[in-house]
Structure 1
Amino acid sequence: MISTNEFKTNVTVKIDGDAWQVVEFQHVKPGKGAAFVRAKMRNLCTGSVVERTFNAGERLPKAHIDRREMQYLYEGDGVYNFMDNENYEQVELSKEQLGAATNFLKENMDVKIM
């Protein structure tokens, strides 16, 4: 379990059965009332980004994400191809799934993929 007070960029939590990644967060302490955390979160299954508000100190289950070392091979028709360095299995990811990371990819570079 992770507290919303411990949010950091790229922390992954499980909400309603889906894995969510914290993109941005802000701890807000209004003059009147209880503190809260406003977070912009990306659904790792669908890629959608939403803004959510949590009570300060609320506890959420941490999502355990498998990260793999892969090699970027090439891009074709908006699909980016990667190869697993351990078993040589190839994986295709869309531009929507990769987001701004597509601007930094070079052929044959090693990357970590979730």
Structure 2
Amino acid sequence: MGKVSTSDFRPGMNILLDGEIYTIVDFQHVKPGKGGAFVRTKLKGVENEKNIDKTFRSGESVESIRVEKHPYQFLYAEGDMFFFMHQETYEQIPLERKKVENASFITDGQICTLSIDVDNDQVLFAEPPDQIEAEVEDTDPGVRGDTAQGGSKPATISGGAVVQVPLFINKGDLIRVDTRTGEYLERAKSK
């Protein structure tokens, strides 16, 4: 951890603010006609997902945090703990369910991204890939002729998430899903 001045702000930089880690999404240096210059920023919470606007005086210092993202393979879940393994070192990391984003989209063997606070050697959170392929485990059967109106129905996919899918999707079909929004994208090609 080190102090950085507002003149060193860059998009993607992580800073510590009120005990929370935020990523700088956007910033703007402002020099009004009267008074001192300031920096207007848009920040996104790394752990809390809050979006905030914050204004800093020009030259003000804040704590910089190094956050790295690493691929880890999901092994299994036991109770409220999820276990991940580093792909090169085979180190296993247990993580509480509350630190696993979109847990219902994670399936055995899936490669997830773990965000790690390098300075404190602490895992902040884990997240699945933005898009996944999953098998439909349960849904009502499609009836011939139902697709004319383009309706949808709920389907439970591997991992336990419920996704709205078109009427022609059946149990056992492989589909592609956006894990950020939980939306059905398309039918996936069979392997």
Question: Shift of the alpha carbon at 1:68?
Answer: 1.0
Q: Kindly indicate whether residue 26 of structure 2 is the aligned counterpart of residue 24 of structure 1.
A: yes
Q: Tell me how far apart the structure 2 counterparts of residues 5 and 34 of structure 1 sit (CA, whole Å).
A: 14
Q: Tell me how far apart the structure 2 counterparts of residues 88 and 64 of structure 1 sit (CA, whole Å).
A: 21
1:10 aligned partner: 12
Share of identical aligned residues, percent?
32
Q: Matches of residues 1-114 of structure 1 in structure 2 within 5 Å?
A: 1-70=3-72, 84-86=86-88, 87=90, 92-94=100-102, 102=130, 105=131
Q: Give structure 2 stretches of 5+ with no counterpart.
A: 74-83, 103-124, 134-191
Question: How well do the aligned residues superpose, as a CA RMSD in angstroms?
Answer: 3.0
The residue type equivalent to 2:43 in the other structure is M
Q: Tell me how far apart the structure 2 counterparts of residues 56 and 70 of structure 1 sit (CA, whole Å).
A: 40
Q: Tell me how far apart the structure 2 counterparts of residues 46 and 9 of structure 1 sit (CA, whole Å).
A: 19
The structure with the greater share of residues assigned to strand is: 2
TM-score of the two chains, using structure 1 as the length reference: 0.65
Q: Tell me how far apart the structure 2 counterparts of residues 25 and 35 of structure 1 sit (CA, whole Å).
A: 13
Change (3 A) 1:85 1:50: same
The structure with the greater share of residues assigned to helix is: 1
* Higher RCO, Cα 8 Å, sep 6+: 1
1:78 aligned partner: none
The residue type equivalent to 2:68 in the other structure is D
TM-score of the two chains, using structure 2 as the length reference: 0.41
Q: Tell me how far apart the structure 2 counterparts of residues 23 and 5 of structure 1 sit (CA, whole Å).
A: 15
